[in-house]
A = this chain, B = another copy of it.
């Protein structure tokens, strides 16, 4: 009998800038044994998200940083292999904070069942039907509150959240302009997702592009990146504009303090509203979002793509794809085989 092992990535040191493999330790541990009240979960798909990088910095944030020596935190979909917990049985497909490892013993906290009668691939539950779908849904509709015929601008528009935000904006009757980092991404936005325009920030002036594509100014900005792009948009906001701060991808890898936008005072002159969105605040309202998102998916009104990279050993390098523009859609690590 072969001894089964559990591969893990543990945090070795706090990264400086983009993560390096050496910031983590690749460990091989014995398979853990679940005790009373616990389940042993085998990870199938691990979600990689820009916010993962923020968990590595020892600064005040919405949750404590991952401690040195800890298994890297991560949301994943897994299958229950053994259960000593009344709510779970072997074979159940579950989602929870399994972390960057192949197996986890979990007590059920934060572990939820996924529906098993679905026609959708499991990876959809880390995409539009996972956290990113409700993030786009509540962030845009609850915080951004777009009205039909208003102009919505989305940054990181080809990303997992941004691409859904823009499509929901179109469903709600907005003019939608996306900002993304390649010709291919911009084409995907306008030709497949129905965005009215897309700006390639790597080759065009974002300011000039926004002036050209937003002839009536900007009413809602859904921002995932912060930094210069946020600053540029703040300079072009209409009166009573709304800015949804969903993240600041441009700054998670920053070394040292980063100043806020130079156009901050436009919040006053335009009587704008800038508001942060953390999807964890909306957990109780997830069914509302998931019902709508599922319907739009079924009706073909919502499209997404998955950027699947197989092999947990690739996780640190893959995380950087979210910051260097290499990813195409929702970034997911295939951890162990589905069957």
Contacts and interface: CB of A to CB of B under 8 A. Distances in A.
Nearest to A251: B265
Contacts of A270: 62, 276
10 contacts: A61-B269, A226-B264, A248-B265, A248-B268, A259-B261, A260-B262, A260-B263, A260-B264, A264-B264, A274-B275
B226 A265 contact: yes
B262 A261 contact: no
A276 B281 contact: no
B272 A267 contact: no
Q: Which 8 A-B pairs have the closest CB atoms?
A: A260-B260, A260-B264, A259-B259, A268-B276, A260-B261, A271-B276, A274-B274, A245-B268
A115 interface: no
A153 interface: no
Contacts of A272: 275-276
A246 interface: yes
A178 to B, nearest CB: 20
A316 interface: no
Q: Which of A262, A263, A269, A276 has the most CB of B within 10 A?
A: A276
Contacts of A257: 262
Given A258-B262, A261-B264, A273 B275 contact: yes
A60 interface: yes
Given A226-B264, A226-B265, A269-B278, 14 more contacts: A62-B269, A245-B267, A245-B268, A246-B268, A258-B262, A258-B265, A259-B260, A261-B264, A264-B264, A267-B274, A271-B277, A272-B276, A273-B273, A273-B276
A61 B270 CA distance: 8
Interface in A263-301: 263-278, 281
Contact of A259 (B247, B262, B269, B277): B262
A257 B276 CA distance: 25
Nearest to A247: B268
Nearest to A234: B260
Nearest to A280: B271
Contacts of A263: 260
A42 to B, nearest CB: 33
A92 B152 CA distance: 49
A62 B61 CA distance: 34
Q: Which of A246, A257, A260, A262 has the most CB of B within 10 A?
A: A260
A246 B312 CA distance: 50
Contacts of A251: 265
A241 to B, nearest CB: 10
Contact of A276 (B60, B267, B276): B267
A271 B261 contact: no
A271 B281 CA distance: 9
A278 B271 contact: yes
